[in-house]
Amino acid sequence: MIKVQSEDFNVGAELSALTKGNHKIGGLAVFVGLVRDLATSGDISAMTLEHYPGMTEKLLARIEDEARERWPLEESLIIHRHGRLEPGDQIVMVATASTHRQAAFEACEFLMDWLKTKAPFWKLEEGPEGAKWVDARESDERAKERWQKVGRKVAGSES
Amino acid sequence: MRLIYFAWVKAMTGTAEEEVEIPGEVQNVTGLLDWLEARDPKYARAFSDRGAIRVAVNQEFARPGDPVTNSDEVAFFPPVTGG
């Protein structure tokens, strides 16, 4: 499931809703991204996330489909916020549920690595020297690249 | 053709969205960037580092040689920084 929204989300409520009634789930992995106050250009007071409505949802759905092809997931959820956020606010949440933990852990990390380099979001940081668009990081691209080698289906593995 | 600009590309061109009619000689992404650069120095500055510009045609990432037509939606933006 994909949610692109400006509102905050409740991690506990989202996880309960995601797993409710599915007793094949034995492992649930979750990643939550928060706004840091120490950014590339010093202390930030806030940031604004811009995105490309339409393409964002399409790309996130495709990234989720890719994860579900590679790993035997029972459920998956990606929530990404847009708009103005302050340090400590939640930006992104990825949750993956599977029979066994390995698929859940790997798929969760895969989804984060892919969405960081594919989903059309841009961060504008507000700091002491004014507003600055955040540059893409080479390390994020490398984090995604490694999945082209090791990403795989783990159906049937006992983890 | 519907053109959309995001992040610092929008700030540099001073345009969020516009409708344009491209001439017949503009056939691909590179041709469109060249044509936009020639129209306005602001666009020329925004697109001066082609390696820093990402292009989506009809909401799909596009390469320099990919075709464009007047019925397309084309977006220009920097490398993404979400998550």
CA distance A30 to A103: 12
Tell me which residues of chain A have a C-beta less than 8 Å from any C-beta of chain B: 33, 49-52, 54-55, 58, 80, 91-92, 112, 115-124, 133-137, 140
Has residue A151 got a pLDDT over 60?
Answer: no
List helix spans (H) across A40-100: 55-70
CA distance B32 to B25: 9
What is the value of ipTM here, to two decimals? Answer: 0.94
Check B78 against A136: CB less than 8 A apart: yes
B79 Cα to chain A: minimum distance (Å): 6
- Helix, strand, coil tally for chain A in percent (to 5): 35, 35, 30
- Helix, strand, coil tally for chain B in percent (to 5): 35, 25, 40
The answer, for B6 touching chain A at a CB cutoff of 8 Å, is yes
How far is residue A40 from each of residues A133, A136, B10, B18, measured CA to CA in Å?
Answer: 10, 11, 21, 32
Given this model, what pLDDT does residue B64 score? 96
Predicted confidence (pLDDT) per residue in A96-130, tens digit: 999 999 999 999 999 999 999 999 999 999 888 88
Identify the residue whose tokens are 């491209």: B22
Mean pLDDT across B59-65 = 96
What does the block give as tokens for A72?
A: 């035997």
Given this model, what pLDDT does residue A144 score? 87
Burial class (CB in 10 A: 0-12, 13-18, 19+), B39: exposed
Given this model, what pLDDT does residue A152 score? 56
A50, A91, A140 ranked by CB distance to B7: nearest? A50
Percent of chain B with pLDDT over 70: 100
How many separate helices (H) and strands (E) can be counted in chain B? 3, 5
The answer, for B51 touching chain A at a CB cutoff of 8 Å, is no
Hey, is B14 helix, strand or coil? coil
